[in-house]
Amino acid sequence: MSSAAEIRGFVRSRSRRPRSWTDLYSTGLGLAVVAAMLSQPASALLAAIARQADPSRMGAGVALVMLAGTGFLAAARAIGPVTLPPADAAWLLLSPLDRRAVLRGPSGVLLAISAVAGAVLGVGLLAVLGTPDHTGVRLAAAMLLGVAAATGGMAAAVLAQASQTWNTWAGPAIAVAAALAVAVALLGSGAGRRLLAAAASAPPAAGAVLAAMAAALAGLLVRRARRVLDRIPAGTLLDASVGRGHAAGAAVAVEPGSLTWSAEDAHWRGRTLRSRRWPALPAPMAPAWQDWRRLGRRPGRLAVLFATAALPALIARTGGGVLEGMTAAGVKGASGLAGTPGLLGVSLTVGLMLVGGLAAAAASTSGARRDGDNPALARLLAVGPRRILAARALLPGLLGGAWLVAVLAGLTVTGALPAGPWWLLGAAAAPALAAGALRMARRRPVDHAMPVIDTPMGAMPTGVLVWALTGVDLVVLGCLPLAAALLFQPAALGGFLAAQALSGAAVLSVSVLREGRRRRDPL
Amino acid sequence: MSEAIIVTRGVEVTLGGNPVLQGVDLEVAHGEIVAVTGPNGVGKSTLLRCLAGLRTADAGEVAVLGGPPRDEPAFWREVALVADEPAWYPGLTVREHLELMAAVHAGPRMDIGEALESFGLASRADAVPPALSTGQRQRLLLAMTLLRPSRVLLLDEPERGLDAEFRRRLAEILTDYAAEGGTVVMATHDPGLAEAARSRRVALADGRAETTV
């Protein structure tokens, strides 16, 4: 019987032309260009981390690095982590070939990806903790620690794919890591500050020992993961590979919308549900109740959603603790954004808040999205589109508004915003977030017939741009008073609050009124 | 003959430069079942889309329930369409889909338990549609369609994915629907279903309709 390597070689020989010296030259040149591009920011970063860090910012910074690592592992678990290209999954996985040999390539890629991600996380950790001395040793230890954590975590994820016992523990372990990050964030500005400061100023040898121990543990996990590769059930690998195929198809066709339904169907296909009585609601609310019920059946998603509401406060604390508006003392006398790092920070935070609010609202618009993509059930229900849209705006408005209220309250409590009823602005922005989320849910697929325009940053396909901005546009328009209030930070919020309530209600009203004029099916 | 519920006169449709319907004349009476037959690509689905108001005829007239069909809620409250599109919401079970339909439409034609039994879905009442087989999903769609009240049923290949036994059951269900005064137009490739439903057969050929049985 042929080996997996021989089969792959055979396939490669039929699908590609033989490699020539020009291929090697192109690859080498490409790598050199990438190295040249990265060298400048890398040296700037190294220069920036060679400093004594501010202890008040350490907790938030360490928490962000921990959350990034946890998110990386959660994403890896959601993807597989071990997957095969669809063709390999179809032809090689269910063949008599040695399973470990078939999976050697994908597992090697996983190891490389986690090593790079770990190195970046390590540098991030050092950037937060600072390097009072021995920068080289501390950098090496931090990178080793990051690589060990990421590769060890990835190995554990592979083990979870192969073993039910590991799989049972993997989810809670990620949740505990996320909770630990939150605890670090909370304690870092209080009781834990001294501990973090001590860790930052510990002798480099201590860091090196810790990194070596982590590397040894990671090595053991990676070795064990390699051994169990052939024990990953074929069904698990096929499911993961189908998901990867959908993702690749969506990327090639630049059609991200197609990915969401396959992920949604895959989620529910594996669940055992118990039917509950449909509440006696008036006609437009009865179909809209579907999103409420769906959300109630995904409490984990709701918990993650509201946990992310702490991120803006964390970022604000890492960046300096105070969001400086245009009237803040630090900005006076400076001209433009380049001269006002505080203003840049507040602009980024406003952008993050609006995108986050939109994402929170969009978590509950699957019904509108389904009706937009496949109106068959909407036709059977025969409810007026305006009435049903108005009913469907309730939940995304509630979720988006609650998320913004939590964010603004967090920023006020941590002192990033001056004292005042900022949270009310979040509640007033809820209708605009609902309107944006519903517009996003009902947008048409990417129109690839739209022109490609040349910009200084390269060719820009306007179809993708329009698709990406559909929904965001309404949120930006409807939340202008909120953004202005955060930028100018006035002493009295009353005027901005009234303007926000008005603009939010206006954007949603116009959105609902225009719905009657939309044709559901262009054919 | 009793009053005509559906009338088409000289309907013409061209798709991508290819003339599909070239003067289709059809009249369907109150309480009648019509089975539109013909090989793939002859225009059966296109004709149903014209009757549903989802496609405008290039020429000719289409009238359903006395007026031109429109893709609007008022029209869909009288007319129900079953086509080859996913018709379920994520995260809801089979029973909840039926309950949703009953909650929206006043005076459902049957209760939920009866619908589950009648369409062979009782054992899958707590399943979500993505976990169902193709045939079971088709049963769910038909159950939702026939649970709600309507005056006209437009069915595009309703036999899709159904086993032989349930096709016979479906014929009975459609016959009962017509006996209650409903009108059915279905495009089908199953002569057995058309015959069991005691339908009038209309064959589409060369873009025209011709009654065969």
Do A285 and A203 lie in one domain? The reply is no
Is B128 found in the same domain as B183? no
Closest alpha carbon within chain B to A270: B131
Tally the domains of chain A: 2
Judgement on whether residues B155 and B132 belong to the same structural domain of the protein: no
Distance between A268 CA and the closest CA of chain B, angstroms? 6
In which band, very low, low, confident or very high, does the pLDDT at A130 lie, cut at 50, 70 and 90?
Answer: confident
Give yes or no: residues A147 and A75 share one domain.
yes
What is the span of the domain harbouring residue B124?
88-142
In chain B, the percentage of residues whose pLDDT exceeds 70 is 99
Residue B83, domain member (yes or no):
no
Residues of A within 8 A of B104 (CB-CB) are: 283, 286-287, 381-383
Which tens digits make up the pLDDT trace of B142-192? 999 999 999 999 999 999 999 999 999 999 999 999 999 999 999 999 999
Is the CB of A520 less than 8 angstroms away from the CB of B71?
yes
Query: Between chains, do B130 and A268 touch, taking CB under 8 Å as contact?
Result: yes
Query: Are both A471 and A422 inside the same structural domain?
Result: yes
Mean pLDDT comparison of A143-152, A159-168, A305-314, highest-scoring range: A143-152
Q: Of A248, A268, A300, which residue sits at a domain end? A: A248
- Whether A380 sits inside 8 A of B148 (CB atoms) is yes
> Does B54 sit within 8 Å of A521, measured CB to CB?
yes
Q: Chains A and B: how many Cβ contacts under 8 Å?
A: 112
A259 belongs to a structural domain = no
Of the candidates B186, B183, B156, the residue with the CA atom closest to the CA atom of residue B36: B186
Q: In chain A, what residues touch B86 (CB-CB under 8 Å)?
A: 370, 374, 376
Contact criterion met (CB < 8 Å) for B131 and A281: no
Residues B13 and B60 in one domain: yes
- Answer yes or no: do B72 and B174 share one domain: yes
Q: Are residues B175 and B116 in the same domain?
A: no
Same domain, B154 and B73: yes
Q: Answer yes or no: do A186 and A302 share one domain.
A: no
- CA dist., res. A158 & res. A152, Å (int): 10
Residue A112 CB neighbour total at 10 angstroms? 11
**Chain A residues touching B125 at Cβ < 8 A:** 275
Residue A450 located in a structural domain: yes
In a shared domain, residues A121 and A228: yes
Q: In this complex, do B49 and A523 lie within 8 Å of one another by their Cβ atoms? A: yes
- Are B144 and A384 a contacting pair at CB < 8 A? no
The minimal CB distance from B89 to the residues A377, A383, A385 is found for A377
> Domain residues for A329?
281-515
Pairing mode, if any, of strands B18-29 and B4-15?
antiparallel
| Nearest CB partner across the interface for B87, out of A294, A377, A521 | A377
Using only C-alpha atoms, chain A has a radius of gyration, in whole angstroms, of: 26
Residue A230 within a domain = yes
Q: Which of B95, B104, B144 sits opposite A287 (nearest CB)?
A: B104
Instruction: Give A52's DSSP letter.
Output: B
Contact (CB<8Å) A275/B96: yes
**Do A464 and A385 meet the contact criterion of CB atoms below 8 Å apart?**
no
Which of A39-43, A414-418, A425-429 is the most confident on average?
Answer: A425-429
Look at residues A248, A263, A290 and tell me which one is the last residue of a structural domain.
A248
Residues B13 and B74 in one domain: yes
Q: Does residue A225 share a domain with residue A116?
A: yes
Residues B32 and B73 in one domain: yes
Domain count, chain B: 2
Q: Is residue B190 part of a domain?
A: yes
- Name which residue leads in pLDDT, A415 or A174: A174
**B91 to chain A nearest CA, in Å?**
5
In a domain, B201, yes or no: yes
Is residue A522 in a domain? no
Residues B21 and B52 in one domain: yes
* Domain identity same for A149 and A225: yes
- Average pLDDT in chain A: 83
**Considering the domain boundaries, does residue B177 fall inside one?**
yes
**Does residue A226 belong to any structural domain of this protein?**
yes
pLDDT tens digit string along A468-517? 899 999 999 999 999 999 888 888 889 999 999 999 999 999 999 887 66
d(C-alpha A510, C-alpha A3), whole Å: 64
CA nearest A261 in B: which residue?
A: B90
DSSP B180: T
- The pLDDT value recorded for residue A178 is 87
Which string of DSSP letters, residue by residue, matches A172-215? HHHHHHHHHHHHHHHHHTTTTHHHHHHHHTS-HHHHHHHHHHHH
Cβ contact (<8 Å) for B99 and A366?
no
Q: Which pLDDT value is given to residue A523?
A: 36
Statement to judge: residues A243 and A136 lie in one domain: yes
Question: Does B20 lie in the same domain as B74?
Answer: yes
In angstroms, the Cα distances linking A513 to A32, A509, A518 are 56, 6, 10
For residue B46, tell me if it sits in a domain: yes
- Are A450 and A493 in the same domain? yes
Specify the range with the lowest mean pLDDT, choosing from A78-92, A331-345, A417-431.
Answer: A331-345
CA-based nearest residue in chain B for residue A287: B100
Measured between beta carbons, which residues in chain B are less than 8 angstroms from residue A382?
73-74, 76-77, 104-105
Answer yes or no: do A269 and B148 touch at CB < 8 A: no
Same domain, B154 and B74: yes
Q: Tell me which of B112, B142, B172 is where a domain ends.
A: B142
CB contact at 8 A, A417 and A385: no
Asked, for residue B138, whether it belongs to a domain, the answer is yes
Say yes or no for a CB contact (<8 Å) between A268 and B128.
yes
Lowest mean pLDDT among A21-35, A123-137, A188-202, A418-432: A188-202
Q: Do B130 and A276 touch (CB under 8 A)?
A: no
* Residues from chain A contacting residue B85 (CB–CB below 8 Å): 374-376
Residues A111 and A207 in one domain: yes
List the B200-205 sheet strands across, edge first: B79-82, B152-156, B183-187, B33-37, B200-205, B208-211
Domain for residue A6, yes or no? no
Mutate to test the interface with A, among B89, B121, B126, B142 (most CBs of A within 10 A): B89
Contacts of A283 in chain B (CB under 8 A): 104
- Position A404 scores a pLDDT of 96
Q: Which residue in A273, A283, A523 is closest to B55 by CB distance?
A: A523
Distance CA B201, CA B211 (A): 6
pLDDT tens digits, one per residue of A191-223: 677 777 777 778 888 888 999 999 999 999 999
Q: What is the CATH number of the domain that holds B177?
A: 3.40.50.300
Check if B91 contacts A (Cβ < 8 Å).
yes
The ipTM assigned to this model is 0.94
Among A377, A386, A518, the strongest candidate for a mutation testing the B interface, having the largest count of B CBs within 10 A, is A377
Q: Choose the closest CB to B90 out of A268, A283, A523.
A: A268
In chain B, which residues have their Cβ closer than 8 Å to the Cβ of A271?
128
Residue among B53, B85, B71, B45 at smallest CA distance from B186: B45
Surface-to-core class of residue B141, CB atoms within 10 Å of its CB (0-12 exposed, 13-18 middle, 19+ buried): buried
The pLDDT assigned to A16 comes to 61
Q: Residue A321 has what pLDDT?
A: 52
CA distance A232 to chain B (A): 23
- Given this model, what pLDDT does residue A282 score? 86
- Assess if residue A276 is contained within a domain: no
- Mind listing the pLDDT tens digit for each residue in B22-41? 999 999 999 999 999 999 99
A272 domain-assigned: no
Per-residue pLDDT reduced to its tens digit, A290-334: 999 999 999 988 888 888 888 888 777 766 555 665 444 444 433
Yes or no, beta carbons of B128 and A269 under 8 Å apart: yes
What number is the average pLDDT over the span A84-88? 79
Highest mean pLDDT among A31-45, A231-245, A386-400: A386-400
From the CA of A369, how many Å to the nearest CA of chain B? Answer: 10
Which residues of chain A lie closer than 8 angstroms to B141, CB-CB?
376
**Is B93 within 8 Å of A268 when comparing Cβ atoms?**
no
Q: Peptide bond preceding A81: is omega within 30 degrees of 0, i.e. cis?
A: yes
Taking contacts as CB-CB distances below 8 angstroms, the residues of chain A near B100 are 278, 286-287, 289-290, 381
| Residue B52 falls inside a structural domain | yes
| Same domain flag for A110 and A222 | yes
Does residue B116 lie within any of the structural domains? yes
Minimum CA–CA partner of B131 in chain A: A269
Q: Are residue A77 and residue A212 in the same domain, yes or no?
A: yes
**Alpha carbon distance A273, B92 (integer Å):** 8
For the cut 80, the answer to whether the pLDDT of residue A48 exceeds it is: no
Please tell me whether residues B101 and B197 are part of one structural domain: no
Residue positions counted in chain A = 523
